[in-house]
Every structure is written in structure tokens, then in C-alpha cells.
Amino acid sequence: QVQLVESGGGLVQPGGSLRLSCTASESIVSINTMGWHRQAPGKERELVAQIIRAGSTIYADSVKGRFTISRDNAKNSVYLQMNNLKPEDTAVYYCWATRIPYNYWGQGTQVTVSS
């Protein structure tokens, strides 16, 4: 069982930046895909960004050019750098990892973008 712990959420003004971190309880070398999902009130959870072991990335259209995902296998961590944040980015952000056939989730961290 992989445990994921997120940090870095908070309140930020529109146009601001935040960096989310997610640290796994064990080595992520064997974890093929890690990423971030988010869920806004009244909406379904959606994929924000993912990164595979080889380093390829996928982003939701709504965050392309503003968010950057990265992983550091030595630190068992994945990061989400969020720039030019918009009010519509407000959501609970969940770290996610998949090691077939299992999916693992963090507890979530709140990101609020408001003036």
C-alpha cells in the first residue's frame, strides 16, 4: 500500500503561483504513472496533469502553459508548479499514483484562488 501525502495548498490571488508537493511512503521507481487530479465543489474529479516513469507528461487543456508537473525519484516525490492561477482553478487537489492494477490517492490539499 503506497501512502501519498500532499502539501503546498493555500489561498492565492488571481495571477499568483503555488507549488504542490506529494511524497510517497516508498520508492516511486516502480510506479509507472503519478499525477494530480482536482475536484471543485459540485463537479466531478478531473485529471490535471500526469507524468510517467520515462518523463512524458499530459496536461488538461485548461492548465496547459500554466502548470508544470515533475517528479524526483530520489525524493519519492512529484510536484505541480501552478502559475497564473485563476479563480476556476479553485479545488481540492489530489495526488495520484498507479502501479497496475492499483490506484493510490492522497488525502487532498485545498487550493483557493480569490482576491
What pLDDT, on the 0 to 100 scale, is given for residue 34? 96
In the Cβ-directed half-sphere of 46, how many Cα atoms lie within 13 Å?
15
Name the nearest CA neighbour of 67 among 54, 55, 49. Answer: 49
Task: Output the tens digit of pLDDT for each of the chain's 115 residues.
Answer: 899 999 999 999 999 999 999 999 998 888 989 999 999 999 999 999 999 988 899 999 999 999 999 999 999 999 999 999 999 999 999 999 998 899 999 999 999 999 9
Could you count the other beta carbons within 10 Å of the beta carbon of residue 76? 18
What pLDDT, on the 0 to 100 scale, is given for residue 47? 98
What pLDDT, on the 0 to 100 scale, is given for residue 1? 87
What pLDDT, on the 0 to 100 scale, is given for residue 45? 96
What pLDDT, on the 0 to 100 scale, is given for residue 115? 95
Which region, left, alpha or beta, applies to residue 84 given φ > 0 means left and ψ of -120 to 50 means alpha?
A: left
